[in-house]
Amino acid sequence: MTKLDELKRHLKPGTAYRRADLARWSTSVDRHIKQMVESGVLKKLSGGLYSYPKETVFGLAPASDQDVVKTFLKDDQFLLASPNAYNSLGVGTTQLYDKTVVYNHKRHGDFQLGSRKFAFRVKPRFPKSLTKEFLLVDLVNNLDQLAEAKNEVLKRVEERAASSDTPQLRRAVRNYGNEKTKKFFERALKSGELHHAA
């Protein structure tokens, strides 16, 4: 068995690797990586980041976004989000965006990893998974970056907030809203309370 075959035996399909990960199993890692990329065994995602695709009935499937980002950050403290998720809130957003936002504690900037675009945003806090409440807050935080008619969207968010005035929403606003967002929800929730009291 060649040294290259030995290295290949360590690789798990559908997984992303850094050069340093591969160096553990090879004494001439750069030569081996070059050979594997040329033969299509590994796919280069960016400098020093590679994916070992998984064979499926539909052809080769790349490593998941989750795995690629985890390998890129060398950390699993992050949340994958996308402006497309706002469309599920029923507040009038319909645009489709081709980037994935990565909330994390380490990296900031836009990175192309393989064929995918990721917008890394450093945040002090974010939830472990996407919730409806977090998405409402996130939408208002990022309103300036959306292509939709902002006033229309805000009006719908306000209605949604007033009707779903829950402890979860208040907590999400407190934990994840920027100053402008907090003020907006404070007004929205207050008008919801008045509405309920009437």
What is the reported pLDDT for 190?
Answer: 82
What is the reported pLDDT for 147?
Answer: 80
Residue 1, both tokens: 């068995």
Domain ranges of the chain: 3-63, 67-197
Do residues 127 and 165 lie in contact, with contact meaning Cβ atoms separated by under 8 Å? no
Question: CB under 8 Å to 68, separation ≥6 — which residues?
Answer: 16, 45, 49, 51, 62, 113, 114, 116
Q: Coil, strand, or helix at residue 75?
A: coil
Q: What is the pLDDT along the chain (198 residues), one digit of tens a residue?
A: 789 999 999 999 999 999 999 999 999 999 999 999 999 999 999 999 999 999 889 988 889 999 999 999 999 999 999 989 999 999 988 888 888 999 999 999 999 999 899 999 999 999 999 999 999 999 999 998 888 888 899 999 998 888 776 899 999 999 999 999 999 999 888 876 655 544
Burial class (CB in 10 A: 0-12, 13-18, 19+), 104: buried
Helices 132-141 and 179-197: crossing angle in degrees, nearest 10, is 120
pTM, entire model: 0.86
Quickly list DSSP for 112-146.
EETTEEEEEEE-S---SS--HHHHHHHHHHTGGG-
Do residues 49 and 113 lie in contact, with contact meaning Cβ atoms separated by under 8 Å? yes
Terminal CA-to-CA distance of the chain, rounded, Å? 80
